[in-house]
Every structure is written in structure tokens, then in C-alpha cells.
């Protein structure tokens, strides 16, 4: 291997195991060694079962590889039920709980040969109250949330692939802050069976990975499809619309400069590029997302609020109480607003393969008492469109800032292919590898 085992992507590791040049136990031991070295600083995990992972790895090494993730260790966000492991959901309410079953996504991953290394830290019920996780790029900064542990673990080389989820910005923001790839599929693509619900109209299971190819690999596993090599299309056939969004001025000036530079560099290629404005029907989507999320969370968390209110954070209690005050008619009105915007946005993809938009305000904020603002992903989550976030450039503190690509509904492969084409053309992606573009800091 030309790089340390713990830095391999899931795709690279799976290929090496199939070829016989790498054993699963070697990879698992390398990941566990990395965790032993860094976990006391990063705090990405709520539970690690090293002995079970090593036992599974040895058993898989004794078999001929069959599934596409044969022998590859993964992390599981701790709102996802996992047999024999705690599912704490970021709350003391479920302290000591162990699940006798696997969520469907965990079961599918195991069927494909994956080894569950452990559970990764989530914010409280995947909302805003953070856990102890720190950004591995700079321990004084947040990793984002709510998929905090998954993003930090993948970014720090503790595991090549992890499950995350998104209700507002829980995949997009951590991916941007930690310098990894975050994939939120079209709403409803992956089953949520065995995952604690928060807002069922928004909740989406997704993937935190080191590469775009890894997201395609896990997508195939989750859908029971044959794994195949993701290929980028010719750059001259790609149509990219640069959408500053109505919230553009809310981002930091250096983040805007970096995004403008990405767009300018794309314009120098043979890709078709242009400026895109969102329809006026999108202007209210951020507020609509907040209302829909609060209304549905009040139902999803009714047991926890009624029986364990004192164990909940003030922020979560406030959300449930606010959601309980939302009238049914108001909730339905905001769903209607969303449907109109969804129809209007769909028309944009007649002219563009993907939209290029900000992923976050900028670098990960300093401190771990908050996880940052999900402003730049709320609307896309509400619309249910597939999104891909990947590292793009560095901010003034040398921390990664991601770009976000939006694809048309149910055209996830088209999105992933476009992302791969942009990545390879502009040399974006793995923050551990050298790239001139990323070495430039935007201030």
C-alpha cells in the first residue's frame, strides 16, 4: 500500500481485500490503532467493540470475498439501532440501552460484508445540543452536527466510511467542516427502519465518506444493487448552474470568494456554466423547514418530552414546545409551499445537470458548545433533493470549506457522476492529499 492503511478509502480497501493484497484484520487493527491514538482528543465514538470487530475480520479473512464491503469497517451514527451495541441517541434518556436487532441499513451493510466497528457520537436526538466530539482538523473547533462523530471519525482516519443522517444540515455541515464527502440521497431513497425518527418528512439517511466513489458504493449496498465503478462524464458535457441562493450574503466573505473561484475555474473548462436564480417560491423555504421540523418533532419526541423532560436540553424542550403550538393548518400550508417550490425547482434541471451552492457559512466555528448554522442546507433538505458536499478550499484558519452540489430528484447517480467530474477536473476531494487549489487560503 502506498499510504497508511487507516487512510484508505472504502473503495480502495474493498478492492485490496478482494485482490488478496490486504487482509481485513490488518485494516481493522490499523483503524483501532488510530482510534487508540486519537480518540481521547477527538471523542468521535460512544461505543467501540474492538474484540467483536477483530473476530469478524478474522472470520471474513477465512472466506472468499463475496459482498462489495467484505471486511471493510464502518461507523454507525448513534441514532441507528445496532444489535448488541448501545443506541443512546445522544441522550441520557436511553443510557444503558442495547438493541436486540439491527436497523435495516446496518443489516444491509453487514450482508455486504461490512464490519461495524462501533457507534459514532450524535447530537441529542440529532438536533442541536452537541456531544463531546471535536473537529480533527483543529480540536478547538466544532465538527458540526448532528453527524458529528461520523464526520470526525472518517476525517481523522479512524474508519473509512460511516452512516449519518440529515433533517436540516446534519450531513452537509459536518462534511464541509471536517473536509470529507457527505452524501444526502433523494428523500426516501434509503429505508429508515430502525432509526429514531425526528421529523419524518425530512429525515434522510446518508453517508459520510472519504471519496465520492465510496458514496456510490454504499448507495449500491443500501439499494441491493450490484456494485459498479462510478465513472465521471466528460466535462464538456456537464452543465453546472452557479446558484448563490437567497442567503448568499449570510456566508463569510472568504467563503463567497472561494465559491466564486470554483465557479471561475469551472468556466475555464469546457463545461457549460451559468448563473442561476432560484424561483421566488423558494424564498420562504428556510422558515418552512423550521416549522415542518418543529411540528413533526413534537410528535416524534412526545414520549421523551412527557416522561423525561428534565433530561432533555433546554433547546430541545423549546423545539418540542414550539412545535406543539404550530396549528395543523399552518403545517399543511408550509407543506403546500414546499410542493410549489419543488415543482418550480424541478424545471431548473431541464437546463442544468447540477446546481453549485454553498455548503456552510465558512469554516467550522471555534468552540464545541454549538455545531454551526444549517442555513445553507435547510431548503434542499425540505425539497428532498439529492446533495453531495465535498472539500473545496481552505479558509483563513486553514480549515476546510466544502462546496455543495444539488441534483434533480431521483437522479442521484447523475449527481455523483457530476461531482466526480468536477472533483477530477479541479483537483478537489481528499484533504489528506496535496492540491494547489486547496493550498490557497481565502481570507
* Cis omega (within 30 of 0) for bond into 146: yes
Angle at 251 between CA 247 and CA 255, to 5 degrees: 130
Give the pTM: 0.97
Q: What confidence score (pLDDT) does residue 443 get?
A: 73
Residue 431 is predicted with a pLDDT of 64
Measure the CA–CA gap between 102 and 199, rounded to whole angstroms. 21
Q: pLDDT at position 439, please?
A: 56
Cβ within 8 Å of residue 153, ≥6 positions away? 42, 44, 45, 75, 120, 159, 162
Grid cell, residue 156, equals: 481523522
Q: Maximum distance among all alpha carbons in the chain? A: 60
pLDDT at position 442 = 78
CA dihedral 152, 185, 48, 67 (to 10 degrees): -130
In the predicted model, what is the mean pLDDT of the chain? 96
pLDDT at 126: 98
User: Which residue has 451559468 as its cell numbers?
Assistant: 274
Q: Which fold has domain 5-222?
A: Amidase signature (AS) enzymes (3.90.1300)
Strand order in the sheet with 354-358: 45-48, 115-120, 73-77, 161-166, 204-209, 181-184, 387-394, 400-406, 354-358, 239-242, 272-275
Q: Where are the domains of the chain?
A: 5-222, 235-277+347-439, 285-339
User: Cα-atom radius of gyration of the chain, to the nearest Å?
Assistant: 20
Q: Which residues of the chain have pLDDT under 50?
A: 434, 436
- Pairing status of strand 239-242 against strand 354-358: parallel
Burial bucket for residue 325 (CB in 10 Å: 0-12, 13-18, 19+): exposed
- CA 169 remoteness from chain centre: 8
Amino acid at each position: 500500500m502506498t499510504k497508511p492503511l487507516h487512510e484508505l478509502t472504502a473503495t480502495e480497501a474493498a478492492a485490496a481485500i478482494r485482490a488478496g493484497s490486504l487482509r481485513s484484520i490488518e485494516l481493522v487493527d490499523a483503524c483501532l490503532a488510530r482510534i487508540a491514538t486519537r480518540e481521547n482528543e477527538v471523542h468521535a465514538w460512544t461505543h467501540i467493540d474492538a474484540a467483536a470487530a477483530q473476530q469478524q475480520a478474522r472470520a471474513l479473512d477465512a472466506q472468499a470475498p463475496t459482498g462489495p464491503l467484505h471486511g471493510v469497517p464502518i461507523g454507525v451514527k448513534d441514532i441507528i439501532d445496532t444489535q448488541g451495541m448501545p443506541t443512546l441517541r445522544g441522550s441520557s434518556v436511553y443510557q444503558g440501552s442495547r438493541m436486540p436487532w439491527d436497523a435495516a441499513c446496518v443489516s444491509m451493510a453487514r450482508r455486504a460484508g461490512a464490519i461495524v466497528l462501533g457507534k459514532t457520537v450524535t447530537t441529542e436526538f440529532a438536533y442541536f445540543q452537541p456531544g463531546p466530539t471535536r473537529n480533527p482538523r483543529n480540536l478547538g473547533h466544532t465538527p458540526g452536527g448532528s453527524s458529528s462523530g461520523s464526520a470526525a471519525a472518517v476525517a481523522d482516519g479512524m474508519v473509512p466510511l460511516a452512516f449519518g443522517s440529515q433533517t436540516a444540515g446534519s450531513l452537509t455541515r459536518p462534511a464541509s467542516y471536517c473536509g470529507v464527502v457527505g452524501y444526502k440521497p433523494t428523500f426516501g431513497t434509503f429505508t429508515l427502519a430502525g432509526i429514531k425518527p425526528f421529523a419524518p418528512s425530512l429525515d434522510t439517511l446518508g453517508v459520510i465518506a472519504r471519496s465520492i466513489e465510496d458514496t456510490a458504493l454504499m448507495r449500491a449496498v443500501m439499494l441491493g444493487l450490484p456494485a459498479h465503478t462510478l465513472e465521471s462524464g466528460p466535462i464538456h458535457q456537464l452543465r453546472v448552474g452557479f446558484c448563490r441562493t437567497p442567503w448568499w450574503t449570510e456566508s463569510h466573505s472568504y467563503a463567497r470568494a472561494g465559491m466564486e473561484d470554483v465557479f471561475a475555474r469551472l468556466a475555464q473548462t469546457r463545461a457549460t456554466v451559468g448563473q442561476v436564480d432560484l424561483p421566488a417560491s423558494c424564498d420562504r423555504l428556510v422558515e418552512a423547514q423550521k416549522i415542518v421540523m418543529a411540528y413533526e418533532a413534537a410528535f416524534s419526541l412526545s414520549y421523551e418530552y412527557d416522561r423525561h423532560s428534565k433530561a432533555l436540553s433546554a433547546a430541545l424542550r423549546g423545539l418540542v414546545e414550539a412545535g406543539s403550538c404550530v396549528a395543523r393548518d399552518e403545517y399543511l400550508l408550509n407543506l403546500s409551499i414546499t410542493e410549489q417550490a419543488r415543482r418550480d425547482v424541478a424545471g431548473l434541471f431541464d437546463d442544468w445537470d447540477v446546481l453549485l451552492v454553498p455548503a456552510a457559512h465558512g469554516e467550522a466555528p471555534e468552540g464545541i458548545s454549538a455545531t454551526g448554522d444549517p442555513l445553507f442546507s435547510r431548503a434542499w433538505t425540505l425539497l428532498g433533493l439529492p446533495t453531495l458536499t465535498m472539500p473545496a478550499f481552505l479558509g483563513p484558519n486553514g480549515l476546510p470549506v466544502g462546496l455543495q452540489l444539488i441534483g434533480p430528484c431521483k437522479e442521484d447517480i447523475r449527481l455523483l457522476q457530476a461531482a466526480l467530474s468536477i472533483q477530477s477536473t479541479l483537483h478537489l476531494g481528499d484533504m489528506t492529499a496535496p492540491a494547489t487549489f486547496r493550498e490557497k487560503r481565502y481570507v
